[in-house]
Structure 1
Amino acid sequence: MRILVITPWYPTIASPIAGVFVQRDTELISSSHEVELVHLVDPALLRTADLEADATSTFPVHRVPMSRSRPGDLLSAWRRIRTLSPGFDLVHTHAFQSLLPFQGHRMAKPWVHSEHWSGIGDPTSLTDRGRLVLRLTGRLLRRPDVVTAVSSHLLTQVQRFRTGPTMIVPSVVREAMPVPIVRDASVLRLVAVGHLVKGKDPMLAVRTVQELRRRGVPTTLDWVGEGPLRSQIEDLTAGDDGITLHGSLDADGVSAALSSADVFLLPTRGETLCLSAIEAISHGRPVVLGAFGGQSDYVTEQNGRLVAPRTPEAYADALLDVSEHLDQMDPEAVAATIRERFSESAVLRGYEAAFEQAMSMHRKGAR
């Protein structure tokens, strides 16, 4: 089958980790189908080097500049999609913003949409303008034949906008090689992977470390990720050698950071799935996360704790609970709790089921 993938999230030279999960999923789909990808890219992120790099991609990539603040860009994007789509059997869009060019236009091909956007999962996280735009455009989720969501939490939110077929298809998480935790009885080593933004709440992570130390538990924190709160965190942790901001790291750097820690901590305010936590579990490291979001699908007593109260005391309690049970949390057993759910074979089966349902609806003339 020939599939045209359309996404606003995809890696660029300027933003190399943006949409990496879409890239992984598309590479997976391309192992069984003929795929081309349309990246509806923010013009500010597009570089000539991106076009050069695309020449080595395993599937053709079309970079289409699209700024949501310029209505003309939406029309240009639609024209490009309309030109390309006749050569394909099915259209597969990713993330809500990819639906915007379709407004007011008919898509005659079988259509699967995969939702990842946190704005759907938690509209309260949006600005007033963002919530207004979502109220006006949310009905676009009715248009595709089938909509997949990466978690049950997100699926419930998607179903507020549509009554048509929906299903859960998570993102691929590449299998890691869990290594034993080399315990140092003198310190609790924490690691976090995420942007330094309000939604991940790095300030609460720092206050949690301070609370643990106040209780007499020497604790370190290595934070992998960059963001606008960096200067505030640096001010809060000035002179603290036990809290390290590593900035952005490549996949090997992230893997090394996870493997060097005892526990993964992310006091997130909400997630559609939280791939960084899944990657931590795949490395055999238990996680302590905020309770709101898709992480409730896979965090269990065997691999972590979910924390509802947004206080350093509550997070410190959870971390101490996990720390006391680390000897019973064999890294291989921790990793096994999520291995099949996020494996390439399971994700591909999910996508194949969505594709077949969309194709079947068209064969039966359901549209």
Structure 2
Amino acid sequence: MHQPEPDVGTRVLHLTQPVEGGVARVVTDLARAQLAAGLHVTVACPDSALAGELRALGADVRRWEATRSPGPSLPGEVRRLARLIDETHPALVHAHSAKAGLAGRLAVRGRIPTVFQPHAWSFEAVGGATAALALRWERFAARWAARLVCVSEAERATGTGAGIRGPWSVVPNGVDTGRFRPAPAVAARKALLPDLDPAAPLVVCVGRLCRQKGQDVLLDAWADVVRKVPGARLVLVGDGPDRERLRAAAPGSVLFAGAADDTVPWYRAADLVVLPSRWEGMALAPLEALACGRPVVTTEVDGARESLPEALAPRCLVPAGDPSALAGAVAGLLADAPLRASLGAQGRRYVLSTHDVRRTAAAVADVYRELLREVPAPRVVPTESRESIHP
């Protein structure tokens, strides 16, 4: 049934910190869809490449300087955000990730319908007293969220199991399947790694270089992989606080590519993509790799199983923090090209049917529709596209 277009005066304010990685891509995809639907989209974030990309899309970007983690600057960040909200008069606030969720809910305190999307819970990222404090905050601040949006059923279950009470929606992450699509590996390898033997088995890991993403576990496993698959090479794509420590521990068969504005060529260049995370909500990297037709080895953490079709789980899912299991899965797939091709094709079909970004945008529109009943919600999925993403 046709849904009316929203009033162009409908204002949505997205708050985000961090400004890179998967959270930034989610914000960008939502802003693009919502702008196309006719909403007035404002994004408050620190000055960054994300800010420039959002301006290019037509979003109203407001500079909100904020650190990635809570600290002494928090009171000033909350005051600046409160002033910005008063200036922009949004009908709805959508806060992404723990830091924006902290500052945003303190600034709004329920005066405006607020969506909080954790993109992995803050109390999973820390330990000891800090974790206890983060959990107490999430329990308390849930009263200031009109809707808690999780990217996986596992993320929601972690929240409810931890005693966080509130109205929930689960909206799985999605990827642009037109942009992330299969292509031959040879051309990508020649462009990215001209000095590398094109026949060398290539593993790619895309993600921020930090404890969460588990690249240290992959490096611990890598010597065993190379013993089983001589000549194999590993590329770490990304930057982050653990860069120098990881470099110091890496052998010569590991390359550090740094941050990439476009990760599509790296997925296409890979024989296999690995994400050895210690925790996730639902990482985009496995979905992006599968959309490019590349098999993925990832860890059995919240949301990871939901990023893989059941057929891939026995060969592609390993325990978190287990270098031996990780090495076995990686080496086994590197040695079996027909199996990799089959798993990659199955993964592509799964993403097309379940994790197309248009499906995600439509689900978020449904959340907004419920919270803003007096305003028609955005029709972010073209009528002609519905059949292709709703099997």
* Structure 1 residue 188 displacement after superposition: 2.9
Amino acid across the alignment from 1:267: P
Residues 1:361 and 1:217: Cα distance change in structure 2 (over 3 Å) = farther
Report the equivalent of 1:60. 60
The answer as to 2:29 corresponding to 1:27 is no
Deviations 1:174-224 (A, max 9, x none): 212213567x99743211111222222222212322102233543211111
Whether 2:181 is the aligned partner of 1:177: answer: yes
- Normalising by structure 2, report the TM-score: 0.77
Map of 1:196-211 to 2, 5 A cutoff? 196-211=209-224
**CA shift digits 1:64-109 (9 cap, x unpaired):** 3345523133123223213422xx4333332233343433855444
d(CA) in 2 for partners of 1:117 and 1:261? Answer: 27
- 1:4 corresponds to which residue? 12
1:113 correspondence with 2:121: no
Instruction: State the alpha-carbon separation in 2 of the partners of residues 345 and 212 from structure 1.
Output: 38
> In structure 1, what is the Cα distance between the partners aligned to 2:53 and 2:164?
38
SS, match of residue 338 in structure 1 = helix
Specify whether residues 169 and 17 from structure 1 end up closer, same or farther in structure 2 by C-alpha distance, changes over 3 A only.
closer
Match 1:287 to one of 285, 296, 299: 296
Larger fraction in helix: 2
1:140 aligns with 2:151: no
For residues 122-157 of structure 1, the C-alpha deviation after alignment (integer angstroms, 9 at most, x for no partner) is: 25x356335414413542123222221111122123
User: For the Cα contact (< 8 Å) 1:193–1:223, is it kept in 2?
Assistant: yes
1-side partners of 2:34 and 2:44: how far apart? 16
Deviations 1:291-314 (A, max 9, x none): 112111122354461111533221
1:266 aligns with 2:275: yes
Could you tell me whether the CA contact under 8 Å between 1:3 and 1:35 is conserved in 2?
Answer: yes
Deviation of 1:60 after TM superposition, in Å, equals 1.1
**Contact kept in structure 2, 1:25 and 1:171, CA below 8 Å:** no
1:82 corresponding residue in structure 2: 86
- Relative to structure 1, the CA distance from residue 65 to residue 278 in structure 2 (aligned partners, 3 Å threshold; closer, same or farther) is same
> Unaligned stretches of 5+ in structure 1?
none
Instruction: Note the C-alpha offset of 1:118.
Output: 4.0
Whether 2:371 is the aligned partner of 1:358: answer yes
Partners of 1:179 and 1:259 within 8 A in 2 = yes
**Unpaired runs of 5+ in structure 2?**
1-5, 187-196, 377-391
1:72 to 62, 73, 76: 76
Q: Which has the higher contact order (CA 8 A, sep 6+)?
A: 2
User: What letter matches 1:169 in structure 2?
Assistant: V
TM-score (norm 1): 0.81
> Which has the higher mean CA deviation after the structures are superposed, 66-75 or 347-356?
66-75
Number of aligned residues: 347
The reply on whether 1:92 has 2:105 as its aligned counterpart is no
Name 1:346's counterpart in structure 2.
359
Residues 23 and 119, structure 2, Cα contact 8 Å, conserved in 1: no
Instruction: Give the match for residue 106 of structure 2.
Output: 103
Q: Percent identity?
A: 20
- 1:112/1:358 contact within 8 Å kept: no
**Contact 1:10-1:20 at 8 Å conserved across structures:** no
Q: What is the aligned-residue RMSD (CA, Å)?
A: 3.3
Q: After TM superposition, list the pairs within 5 Å mapping 1:152-231 onto structure 2.
A: 152-159=153-160, 160-175=162-177, 176-180=180-184, 187-215=200-228, 217-231=230-244
Change (3 A) 1:9 1:193: same
Deviation at 1:277, TM superposition (A): 1.7
For the structure 1 residues 231 and 59, does the alpha-carbon distance in structure 2 shift closer, same or farther, using more than 3 Å as the test? closer
- Say if 1:25 and 1:172, in contact at 8 Å, map to a contact too: no
